Structure 1
Amino acid sequence: MTTLSVIVPVYNAATFLPNCLATIRSNYRDDFQFILIDDHSTDETPQILEQAAEKMPWLTLIRNPENYGVAKSRNLALERADGRYLTYLDADDWYQAGHLVETLDGLQRLDVDFIRTDHVRVDAMNRSVKRAPEEVRDVALDPKSQIGLKGSRTMVDYPYLWAGMYDRERIAPELFAFDESLRTAADRPWFWRLHLNTESTAVVGLQGYFYRKDANPTALTQAGNRSTLHFLDAYAGIRDLALATENEDYIEKAAYGACRIVAFHVSMRARLSPELQSELYHRSSAFLNSFPQEAVKAALKHFDLPTRIVLKKILRIEVR
């Protein structure tokens, strides 16, 4: 009987796989299932995974016939998941030995739909603990209470799938699906749906997940291509979820998040071609103007003056 399934999307991760496989081995238990899905890598990833399976026959390996993206890869891997509980691992990250057992113990002890954890950010040789933005620890909470208000970072803004574990018997199956049209930021609306449609959650102070934030040329968060603009589609999904609730606080929170992510990507525009920069400006203008005007006005008050000036200029761009 499988207790826990761990989904590991992999793409051109040959450099990181030895460490990833070592961390899987150090967290292995007979009732844990590790599903590694190779998204049609073009480096040595397939060979490394095949060699690993010879030594660890309990691994579940999937290879996509073409490059689908991480959202669809996660969905395909989920179809093979047998465990009641579910979590994720990125191929360039790693667990501390025993981290999965400790996380599972916390979820079962607190008897909630899902739990979230802190994590350790890795920048080259530097390590820093990043706390989940929830001060109340080891107590069951209403996930809706963690959506919070505009101007603050809350658990719904902590979009790390791997910093959590989820009970598949208590969460509706459809909530686990990712939007396959999104090449990046698919986890953002995923967490909004989770917080809006579940009954209980908790944060535990575990720090056994190590998140690599240093240079990784395959990381979507560091890309500067057309897929980068998928953040607009992802946040449009959040906008629609918030509007559907007719809850003014949720709508203003979504508007604030939209303004914040647009400002961030505008600040990073140098990584985009001139054509994509123009598309960023015009699509961002159309996107921000799709929110209720009062919600955007309320959101803008929470930014410093330079950022407000930038956002107001974007709002006034003629939409093509």
Structure 2
Amino acid sequence: MHTVSVIVPMYNAEDFLPTCLEVMRRNGGDGTQFIVVDDHSTDATPRILDDARAAMPGLTIVRNDANLGVARSRNIALDLADGRYLAYLDVDDWYGPGHLDGLVQAIQELEVDFVRTDHVRVDGYRRTLESAPEKRRGVPMEASTGIGRAGSNAMVDYPFLWAGIYDTERLPRDVFLFDESLRTAADRPWFWRLYMEAATTAVVDLHGYFYRKDHNPRALTQAGNAQTLHFLDASARIRDLVLPTGDPEWITKAAYAAARICTFHVARRARLSPALRAELFDRSATLLASYPTEAMDDAIRALSVSPRISARALVAKGRKS
């Protein structure tokens, strides 16, 4: 059994794979398991991985027979992970020296279910430290405090899977599973379930994860196609997680998150086709109107002026339908 398993999904990653493999070499060791899932790449990724396998015998490589998406790829890797702790790495990003060891040390010393970190945003040659919303550092706390309230920016709103490490012995396996129907935004309901079901967490000052924001032109988050609207499905999953709890603060916070992301995409609708724009408006209206009236009204009041106007129009449309 390894100390930590690191899941690395990838698709057509030939431009980023050499750096990623070097990161694995530098962070590898007897206690580390790297699980690479090639999601049916059509470029040189399979060849590069085959070459790497000869030099890195401890590397686990899985090749999907079809393109299944990142959520399914992560679930496939989970079945192969035998580490006490679980971490993630995106192929176009990298770990700084000692980062993975720092993650393991933090979760072992703090004895919590999972630990989150800050990260460094990479824009070309520019580096910017992006801090996690939680200001308390290096201290255990109840996981549910990461949900926050409407109007707040809480840890549940920091949906970066790789900015953390997770204890597979303290958390049930179903917490780690991703909704495979979601090609984008699958991390968002994943984090809501984590913060709702886990007992303890902590945030630490580690700045060794380097995230290439918008650098990969193949990233689905940069697309303007039908999969862009999967955020609506993800938001519906969050609603379905929260409403049965009956917790008014959680419900209002989830309503706020839904209103915020819907109005964000409505404001950027120009990248969508006319048909997708119509779908965006209709489905956003239906989603927001599906929340209890009082919770959604309170959530909208917590928005800034422009999103508030947009959200009210969407809710009015949804309630008339």
- The answer, yes or no, to whether TM exceeds 0.5 is yes
Match of 1:275 in 2: 275
Match of 1:10 in 2: 10
Contact 2:86/2:165 (CA < 8 Å) preserved in 1? yes
Runs of 5+ consecutive residues of structure 1 not aligned to the other structure: none
Size of the alignment, in residue pairs? 320
Match of 1:248 in 2: 248
Match of 2:71 in 1: 71
Q: TM-score, normalised by structure 2?
A: 0.98
Where 1:202 maps in the other structure, the secondary structure is strand
State how far apart, in whole Å, the 2-side matches of 1:171 and 1:307 are.
37
Q: TM-score, normalised by structure 1?
A: 0.98
State how far apart, in whole Å, the 1-side matches of 2:17 and 2:300 are.
43
Shift of 1:223: 1.0
Deviations 1:170-220 (A, max 9, x none): 001111110111111111111111111111100000000000003311111
Letter in 2 for 1:199: A
Matches within 5 A, 1:280-291: 280-291=280-291
How well do the aligned residues superpose, as a CA RMSD in angstroms? 1.1
Runs of 5+ consecutive residues of structure 2 not aligned to the other structure: none
Shift of 1:56: 1.1
Shift of 1:317: 2.7
Letter in 1 for 2:110: L
Contact 1:2/1:82 (CA < 8 Å) preserved in 2? yes
Match of 1:295 in 2: 295
Shift of 1:244: 1.3
State how far apart, in whole Å, the 2-side matches of 1:265 and 1:51 are.
42
State how far apart, in whole Å, the 1-side matches of 2:241 and 2:283 are.
20
Shift of 1:316: 2.7
Shift of 1:306: 2.0
State how far apart, in whole Å, the 2-side matches of 1:109 and 1:302 are.
38
Matches within 5 A, 1:1-320: 1-317=1-317
Shift of 1:71: 0.4
State how far apart, in whole Å, the 2-side matches of 1:121 and 1:104 are.
22
Identity %, equivalent residues? 57
Where 1:215 maps in the other structure, the secondary structure is coil
State how far apart, in whole Å, the 2-side matches of 1:203 and 1:306 are.
32
Where 1:13 maps in the other structure, the secondary structure is coil
State how far apart, in whole Å, the 2-side matches of 1:128 and 1:158 are.
16
Letter in 1 for 2:202: A
Where 1:62 maps in the other structure, the secondary structure is strand
